Structure 1
Amino acid sequence: MSGGEVAPAPRTGLNPARTVAELKELRRLTGDEQGAQRVAFTDPWLRARAFLKERLAELPVEVHQDPAGNLWATLKGESGRELLIGGHLDSVPNGGWLDGALNVLAGLEVMRRVSAQYAGRPPVTLRLVDWADEEGARFGRSLYGSSAASGHFDVAEMSKLTDRDGVSLPDALAGVGVRLEDAQQARQELKNAAAYLELHIEQGPVLEGLGLPLGAVLGTVGVERHVLTFHGQAAHSGSTPMNVRRDAFLAAARLGQEIYAIAERHGGVCTIGSVKTWPGIVTSVVERCEITLDQRHLDAGKLAAMWQDAQEAAGRFAQEGGCTVEVGRLWNIEPIPFDPDLIGAAEAAILETVPTSHRLPSGPLHDAAEVARAGVPTVMLFVQSLRGISHNRIEDTLEEHLELSVVALDRLTDRAMAWIQGG
């Protein structure tokens, strides 16, 4: 193993190498030289679903698609209380081979082991879910399937969504046997859920920087996303002295530098992701500059403080430059901490697998966030991402780390089942 890790002996019936082989086969079936092409509700996504169903058919499980289009496999247990393991087979266009698919296929392998150990009847009911359209790559609305199950879902708003080819979300769903008006009925799937587990590649550089293969996730960060528009004065770029310009871009650019100080001060992250200028010609001082600001933190108070600091800085730079600024909200979500008991169980499972664990927040959102919002005790495991790159064909993780992650998820599953029994 790299870094001196020695893989523990897997439980009888668990074959982590099989998960890696199945991930490679899924990549062959649903990708091309540009990367994964499993965009939700397309033919490659349907092939991925068929690939999963073929393997589930070998197990004593009940398989069904819920009214939102999520796919569930249920291994009934002695107790009706349910342990859920989740992920998503859909990808972004030209995406990576692991994002989402690792979660599902690792969960499949754990379900095989549990079924074998308990002769198809575990102490609690075990369910594997493939959430529909986690990425939001096609219709711009992430966490579609899990938000339908959590109840954070507006049918009227969703019905207006279209993809770049003009296909509406309702029409795309109809093509896979789903009526958008029925999607909220998926809430019934969580009525007996006692805990939810999700394994995911980190999609960032933290674990690689620490030289660690695995980490326990504290929760998903809160997000504040806004558009700020600075208004100045258009003027000739040749005849207007620098000291009398009311340059909207200059005010915005100063904020672009200040967000790094704001992020460092509060321990979060801030990003200006887009910049638009008007009149947008080389011979004019910028009259109007529109920027988007994305801010994220695991602590709600610190997230609010970062946004307050950004507003104050924007106002100050606008005033200093003879400009004004207006603010519009794009989207926000509160920080979603995971269950403390399950975080402890996740860390213990990691330490049964490798010598060292690390606790870290998730910057990206995941289906786990919606499940936690629904009141289900939730935790995630992260496995190291090489170069911290995801949503890219070069997305990768060492195969030995992938196998370790399957072992850790398996150990966490046993701990979660015992926790449910004792609750």
Structure 2
Amino acid sequence: MSNSSALDPQRTVDELKALRTLTGDNNGAQRVAFTNKWMEARAFLKKKLLELPVEVITDPAGNLWATLKGESEKELLIGGHLDSVPNGGWLDGSLNVLAGLEVLRRLSAQYGADGGKPPVTVRLVDWADEEGARFGRSLYGSSAASGQLNVHEAAQLHDKDGVSLGDALMNVGVLLADAPKASEQLKNAAAYLELHIEQGPVLEGMDLPLGAVLGTFGVERHTITFHGQAAHSGSTPMNVRKDALLAAGKLSAEIYTIAERHGGVCTIGSVKTWPGIVTSVVEKCEITLDQRNLDADNLAAMWQGAQDAAQKFAEEGSCTVEFGHLWNIEPIPFDAELIEACDAAILEVTPTSHRLPSGPLHDAAEVARAGVPTAMLFVQSLYGISHNKIEDTKEEHIKLSVEALDRLTDKAIAWIQQH
């Protein structure tokens, strides 16, 4: 059993506040990857790690690892990310890392007092550039470790100031070409745990502090372009118009029905029209469609449903339609036994648990893609808001999440020993 007296969840709250003061301003968190504020956050973490009997390294992709040696070479990984979006929240990513730091402290106190070691090696990782806010490519560090990073494509990425990803990495001592070597860090990984704020309204709506995550949604992103005919807005009767925007508007409503039918979410995030003037019927309308579902078959059915509906609405309006592919990723379910362990850990610190999928992607998804059994723990987000300076979670819930992660750590260690 854990030495709970060595765990101090209030310390995690205090350190989160200290990090907020160090790397934020009146507009929110400013820990954008590979910037000076991000480096300050890393230095903050390293200083805390110096107090523990851990080995600290930075891998070839720029991920930071703190290793507490165990009796076994099998490794339990606890992960998070210190980087934020511009004007971001104080908890997104940093809670994961600082809660993991507190778990390392407890393990060190429990096993290190008499020179002992935990049964398995435990490693805390701060993944580099989870957000993708600067270069548009999320999960950079974890995808390098999972083998999913295409270095050639990554080399083409630039930030808004024209700085390349490669140059930004070089500025912090990392060579982009070497990033795939980070996969070496997963060779002994037997399980991966990640705590995260929910970033959505589900747990708050149920008045529950914690939930066990089933997996991350698969995503399909496409462009849908309707082609009609430009015509004078004053002289063209309504019943003979070939209005591309009308077809797109009908689809905008239909995606809600499609999402409800298949238990997913659909979003039209942008609309562009041509010729884009007030005196012309819309000749061309391009929309972007984002669809997400935890089930691969349902995700495919959602995309097919959107295509069928778009074709129908185009024909109704004497228009045509074409489809373009933007990006996709398959649904990534987490390990069933570790989800059970996560549920059990939650029930040891609060009366009720709830299982829910994650709409946003996380580093946990990349680790799971690499074949490492994975579990995620969500803590309630107030207002369901993240990536915003008003992002918040009740302090008592933050402390409960640290306790639950600590309990889950012990369960995961026992699970690794049995496998």
Task: Indicate conservation of the 8 Å contact 1:215/1:381, yes or no.
Answer: yes
* Structure 1 partner of 2:238: 242
Deviation digits for residues 84-112 of structure 1, max 9, x if unmatched?
00000000000000000000000000000
Give, as a single letter, the amino acid of the residue that structure 1 aligns with 2:347: L
Deviation digits for residues 356-396 of structure 1, max 9, x if unmatched?
00000000000000000000000000000001000000000
* Structure 1 partner of 2:353: 357
How far is the alpha carbon of 1:10 from its aligned partner? Answer: 7.6
Task: Indicate conservation of the 8 Å contact 1:72/1:129, yes or no.
Answer: yes
* Structure 1 partner of 2:300: 304
* Structure 2 partner of 1:69: 62
The one of 36, 43, 55 equivalent to 1:50 is: 43
Give, as a single letter, the amino acid of the residue that structure 1 aligns with 2:243: D
* Structure 1 partner of 2:118: 122
**d(CA) in 2 for partners of 1:132, 1:121:** 28
Deviation digits for residues 56-109 of structure 1, max 9, x if unmatched?
000000000000000000000000000000000000000000000000000000
The one of 381, 385, 389 equivalent to 2:381 is: 385
* Structure 1 partner of 2:191: 195
The one of 134, 149, 153 equivalent to 2:149 is: 153
Indicate the SS of the match to 1:125. strand
How far is the alpha carbon of 1:166 from its aligned partner? Answer: 0.2
Indicate the SS of the match to 1:204. coil
Task: Indicate conservation of the 8 Å contact 2:76/2:190, yes or no.
Answer: yes
**d(CA) in 2 for partners of 1:115, 1:222:** 38
Task: Indicate conservation of the 8 Å contact 1:12/1:117, yes or no.
Answer: no
Give, as a single letter, the amino acid of the residue that structure 2 aligns with 1:180: L
Task: Indicate conservation of the 8 Å contact 1:10/1:407, yes or no.
Answer: no
- Provide structure 2 residue ranges, at least 5 long, that are not aligned to the other structure: none
Instruction: Tell me the TM-score normalised to structure 2 length.
Output: 0.98
Give, as a single letter, the amino acid of the residue that structure 1 aligns with 2:343: E
How far is the alpha carbon of 1:12 from its aligned partner? Answer: 1.9
Deviation digits for residues 89-139 of structure 1, max 9, x if unmatched?
000000000000000000000000011101161110000000000000000
* Structure 2 partner of 1:254: 250
**d(CA) in 2 for partners of 1:10, 1:207:** 29
Task: Indicate conservation of the 8 Å contact 2:3/2:106, yes or no.
Answer: no
The one of 4, 19, 33 equivalent to 1:40 is: 33
**d(CA) in 2 for partners of 1:54, 1:330:** 42
Task: Indicate conservation of the 8 Å contact 1:220/1:369, yes or no.
Answer: yes
Q: After superposition, where does 1:394-413 map in structure 2 within 5 Å?
A: 394-413=390-409
Task: Indicate conservation of the 8 Å contact 1:63/1:72, yes or no.
Answer: yes
Deviation digits for residues 243-287 of structure 1, max 9, x if unmatched?
000000000000000000000111110000000001100000001
Indicate the SS of the match to 2:414. helix
* Structure 1 partner of 2:229: 233
* Structure 2 partner of 1:108: 101
Give, as a single letter, the amino acid of the residue that structure 2 aligns with 1:38: R
Provide the alpha-carbon RMSD of the alignment.
0.8
Instruction: Report percent identity of matched pairs.
Output: 78
The one of 11, 25, 32 equivalent to 1:18 is: 11
**d(CA) in 2 for partners of 1:198, 1:155:** 26
**d(CA) in 2 for partners of 1:131, 1:241:** 58
Count matched residues: 415
The one of 276, 287, 294 equivalent to 2:290 is: 294
**d(CA) in 2 for partners of 1:14, 1:171:** 40
The one of 258, 269, 273 equivalent to 2:269 is: 273
Task: Indicate conservation of the 8 Å contact 2:144/2:182, yes or no.
Answer: yes
Spell out structure 1 runs of 4+ moving beyond 6 A. none
Indicate the SS of the match to 1:195. strand
* Structure 1 partner of 2:175: 179
- Provide structure 1 residue ranges, at least 5 long, that are not aligned to the other structure: 1-8
Give, as a single letter, the amino acid of the residue that structure 1 aligns with 2:337: D
Task: Indicate conservation of the 8 Å contact 2:81/2:126, yes or no.
Answer: yes
Indicate the SS of the match to 1:216. strand
How far is the alpha carbon of 1:22 from its aligned partner? Answer: 0.2
**d(CA) in 1 for partners of 2:378, 2:187:** 27
**d(CA) in 2 for partners of 1:276, 1:76:** 55
Indicate the SS of the match to 2:271. strand
* Structure 2 partner of 1:5: none
Give, as a single letter, the amino acid of the residue that structure 2 aligns with 1:83: L
Indicate the SS of the match to 1:263. helix
**d(CA) in 1 for partners of 2:7, 2:164:** 42
Give, as a single letter, the amino acid of the residue that structure 2 aligns with 1:68: A
